[in-house]
Structure 1
């Protein structure tokens, strides 16, 4: 029978990975347990760099992210989830306030890469590549960089000065951003010839038509152009009047942002949605805010047609009811026979989704993520083309989810690096430290953070940021609520139970994966040692059979009693 050996080997936390219930953690693969432990210790600079390994937009995501990591958080099953989003924001803002600069991972490689589009996916891909030593040029057709970040997300959720700090950090890694550069077919071909690789990251900005009569009537407009005018300081072009009735069709973030902006400009918006609040793709917290700010809702209403009535618009809707769950995982709406309603508005904004517009790559193309197959190009050019972000995914429910496209950018960058000859290390598959693997008797219940916000009266007529960043003391306190699932934080419970089979090492905790702070005395392994494995609050230890793939790894953690006594051992 093979001998079983305990050892310290990291697991992944549910806030990082998809769990057995289908909850998805951080799409950007942020190392949440490690950055939170550093934050709990007041080591904010180190926590900042842990976040910047995986997400150049950590300050933004700490403001506008859907935070699926919190839904997956093990602490949810104990009391309430950890405030990961708010703490990511604090740590990132701290790093920028201290003037921290990117850490490079490699010297210059002598190869250059073009990225078409400066939205979150394009800038993230450029940032990751630049840190690995590639010269990276980003082409943007708008006069300012950012794509969705500056065109679609309002300043009250993502202040422009915060974006500018994130953009400056990306540029400090060596990325060049060229604005006002419209790319057509000929320009794209020339870029493909001039660069060693090209990444298409133009997002999804072409409005989806809902296919109803009257949607092109004067007074009907699309969400992205509407938001772009506001975010680019051209609000006067919208000519919104105080008390104007605006109908917003849709249930995602674009619809929510249009409604909240409209309120701030003095209008009276109503969101028209064919399902109920529970099926909206926008986060429930955002929906709560809209209601508190004065946005009205018409749920279970399917638009049928738009008619012009003088200077008004009549929206005829079908009354709906919910049926069984469809392929999106939400209840499917069905028409209530003979039930219709007429809604009157001064203008209507369509916010039902957007799709990629990839005309510039040629007449024919297919997406084989992360590659883009472009038969209209010669083979030498076609083999260089990659794609990432919403441009690669098409029109889907979570289009515009920044943290998601940052994760896609990581995948595309891996493909580019391998294409250019790098041997990119693969992450080993690890177990997940689910709640039932933790030893929660060591933890006390503690309440979740209540973030300070502007009062609703203070939000009227301006685009000031609504939520305020926590201070250092509160950040440390709230970060200490994290269970730090799957990693060792030197809590000493294993040492306490080990009955002399463990030696505690004198070294500082660092965020390096699989770093160990205790060593096993091989001759002293006993039932108490296995008790140490069970006692670990965080499921940071495991047991592996002799001869397993972890054998070499295990040998680094085992010493003999002779080594402790500096060789003063009796000969057999």
Structure 2
């Protein structure tokens, strides 16, 4: 139907409000309580207009369009109503805007500037209600509230949580919870919709939640930002909550070719960033990923696309997570990719550095097979030639992704005695079933996850007593809480805050001499400073010692490229080495980090190598059609206090007898419950951002 607004004829759909019809046609009508995603209530009166045939100005958000309707925005009655309404709002609003985080992007500020209105005609009525900083994630600055009701409608109607409402108090009407209880007690889901729709900054993210070093969207969804591969975590958690595991796996695989592998062993830094930490413990993102991927559906493959052959050839040295990831995406871009692996099987440290009780062979084999399906050629038991030679053999580009397979031996007295082993050799030999006697009493030196891998592997190989000693205190160890707890349950004896002085013995290992650490820290030059406790020396009798104090690359000095200290490959921001056409990625560049970081590096190096080969560098893929998430959340009893679930573990006395997987996957019921704890922070970004008057 057609109507006229300020002598301009526009077309509108039946049932639309005059306000939405005008805004849709690019005609601005002032409004504050109205929001594109919320039902109108006409409370602020700022959208008042004059309509032919009506005696008084009326809120345009409450009037439906009619055929032939004639609307005047700036008539005298409408202007008077708007200005009076704005002056009343400003009478109780702080006069100084400069200290407000919303300064320059506040809808109220924009509105009174547009109307040319100030609070001068009205006696100021100060509101001294203190800011409420008591709730996690959300702070409420009552003095900035204009009682537009947007937050109430977002909470009650849009999200269905029904926590916020107008409350009568001694200071007047304000927004709050029934009984003035905390948001957590009231059942808030901390989705942030109230923050997103607030026009003035009265409801804000708690201090520190919005970071200045990243975009607003990245701050709002910190788990996705923290993930090195930027996996869309909230999206796949929603699918898991709904039992749609195939869809969840497709979302994960849009960024990661190793979903189940990561579900077993990821260091899950996304969980550290999870906002749910403010309510107790984070989502079990890693284990939920495993549950989805363990369904083993090939449904995602139907949308996997591989480009036509480009005629370009790429060589990848090393079949670890970085190398295989890069190979996968390069092959999908149509390049001919050959991966060289000196070991008998692909997988890198996932295969030879992580015990099978954490990452079973069949999981790794299955996901490597998926990678090879796109046309990657794998040559195992094959040491690659130097990059310069490969380039002369016809390869157009080379990626070095050889990892860090060389253990580090500390310069201690006795470090070469029979019975002393390096972490990399020990774990690799164990994975190959080449260790007959791990020793009866074993000492592992180091405090990270690899140290626990060595210690727990020694137990499974038949060691009767296993110790771990490290310089760090228990709360400073780099090993995960899970590793420390599971190791303790299996009987591993931890000597934290201890320095290793020497390995004792004449013809073979007989013990390790330790001394308690008083202080351990790094000075301004990153040099370790260790202060020991006098008189605290002790000798722990053992017959085998395993160094687990770090790893380094092997053989990089023979590659003919520039290296960093420690024989790590030197690359620039585009992963290029000093030799044109040769790139580096993963642990061989960064030092030993995590599998997810190696995968992320593999992705980024594939982008740069594709560009070098003449491609556009776009390796993004959509394995699942985008669906608009339901904004309605509904109420969940005691949502803020829901406990984190963990998958079942094999009993300690049973699990240390074999290399069977220690951890089970979530049951479907457990997975749905755990995924249901997600705050779904990303739904905030689906809300429409109202345009200010100067944008029309």
Report the CA distance between 1:324 and its aligned residue. 5.4
Cα distance in 1 for residues equivalent to 2:390 and 2:306: 30
SS for the counterpart of 1:256 is helix
Max Rg structure? 2
Classify 1:385/1:300 alpha carbon distance in 2 versus 1 (closer, same or farther; 3 Å): same
1:315 aligns with 2:521: no
Correspondence for 1:391: 588
SS for the counterpart of 1:39 is helix
The aligned runs of 1:112-131 (5 Å cut-off) are 112-131=313-332
Report the CA distance between 1:424 and its aligned residue. 3.8
The aligned runs of 1:73-88 (5 Å cut-off) are 73-88=274-289
1:407 aligns with 2:603: no
Correspondence for 1:466: 662
Q: Which runs of 5 or more structure 1 residues have no equivalent in the other structure?
A: 18-24, 375-381, 428-437, 488-535, 552-572
SS for the counterpart of 2:643 is coil
Classify 1:70/1:373 alpha carbon distance in 2 versus 1 (closer, same or farther; 3 Å): closer
1:190 aligns with 2:390: yes
Report the CA distance between 1:209 and its aligned residue. 2.8
1:164 aligns with 2:365: yes
Deviates more, 1:154-163 or 1:330-339: 330-339
Contact 2:468/2:494, CA 8 A, preserved across alignment: yes
Cα distance in 1 for residues equivalent to 2:369 and 2:303: 10
Correspondence for 1:557: none
SS for the counterpart of 1:94 is coil
Q: Choose the corresponding residue for 1:270, options 451, 454, 467.
A: 467
Deviates more, 1:253-262 or 1:38-47: 38-47
Contact 1:42/1:476, CA 8 A, preserved across alignment: yes
Correspondence for 2:445: 249
Contact 1:279/1:331, CA 8 A, preserved across alignment: no
1:144 aligns with 2:345: yes
Contact 1:75/1:81, CA 8 A, preserved across alignment: yes
Contact 2:420/2:509, CA 8 A, preserved across alignment: no
> Can you list the C-alpha shifts for 1:397-422, whole angstroms capped at 9, x where unaligned?
xx141011111112212211222223
Contact 1:148/1:400, CA 8 A, preserved across alignment: no
Correspondence for 1:453: 649
Contact 2:418/2:509, CA 8 A, preserved across alignment: no
Report the CA distance between 1:169 and its aligned residue. 1.0
Report the CA distance between 1:193 and its aligned residue. 4.3
Correspondence for 2:671: 475
SS for the counterpart of 2:237 is helix
Cα distance in 2 for residues equivalent to 1:190 and 1:168: 25
Correspondence for 1:291: 488
Contact 1:370/1:388, CA 8 A, preserved across alignment: no
Report the CA distance between 1:347 and its aligned residue. 0.8
> Can you list the C-alpha shifts for 1:199-219, whole angstroms capped at 9, x where unaligned?
100001112232222212221
Classify 1:100/1:455 alpha carbon distance in 2 versus 1 (closer, same or farther; 3 Å): farther
Classify 1:188/1:283 alpha carbon distance in 2 versus 1 (closer, same or farther; 3 Å): farther
> Can you list the C-alpha shifts for 1:517-539, whole angstroms capped at 9, x where unaligned?
xxxxxxxxxxxxxxxxxxx5x77
Cα distance in 2 for residues equivalent to 1:543 and 1:112: 50
1:348 aligns with 2:545: yes
Correspondence for 1:209: 409
Correspondence for 2:497: 300
SS for the counterpart of 1:368 is coil
Report the CA distance between 1:339 and its aligned residue. 4.1
Correspondence for 2:189: none
1:11 aligns with 2:217: yes
> Can you list the C-alpha shifts for 1:347-368, whole angstroms capped at 9, x where unaligned?
1010100011213312744432
Contact 1:28/1:404, CA 8 A, preserved across alignment: yes
Contact 1:157/1:466, CA 8 A, preserved across alignment: yes
Cα distance in 1 for residues equivalent to 2:584 and 2:693: 44
Report the CA distance between 1:137 and its aligned residue. 1.2
Contact 1:3/1:545, CA 8 A, preserved across alignment: no
Correspondence for 1:227: 427
**Count of aligned positions:** 467
Classify 1:359/1:540 alpha carbon distance in 2 versus 1 (closer, same or farther; 3 Å): farther
> Can you list the C-alpha shifts for 1:424-478, whole angstroms capped at 9, x where unaligned?
4699xxxxxxxxxx99996623222131111112213211101111233332332
> Can you list the C-alpha shifts for 1:110-140, whole angstroms capped at 9, x where unaligned?
3221110001111111112222222221100
Cα distance in 1 for residues equivalent to 2:688 and 2:661: 43
Report the CA distance between 1:168 and its aligned residue. 0.9
SS for the counterpart of 2:330 is helix
> Can you list the C-alpha shifts for 1:478-518, whole angstroms capped at 9, x where unaligned?
2222222123xxxxxxxxxxxxxxxxxxxxxxxxxxxxxxx
What is the CA RMSD across the aligned residues, in angstroms? 3.2
SS for the counterpart of 1:114 is strand
Cα distance in 2 for residues equivalent to 1:29 and 1:198: 26
Contact 1:2/1:545, CA 8 A, preserved across alignment: no
Cα distance in 2 for residues equivalent to 1:419 and 1:200: 15
Classify 1:26/1:364 alpha carbon distance in 2 versus 1 (closer, same or farther; 3 Å): closer
> Can you list the C-alpha shifts for 1:328-354, whole angstroms capped at 9, x where unaligned?
999964333464332221010101000
Contact 2:391/2:397, CA 8 A, preserved across alignment: no
SS for the counterpart of 2:678 is coil
Cα distance in 2 for residues equivalent to 1:343 and 1:277: 19
Report the CA distance between 1:284 and its aligned residue. 1.1
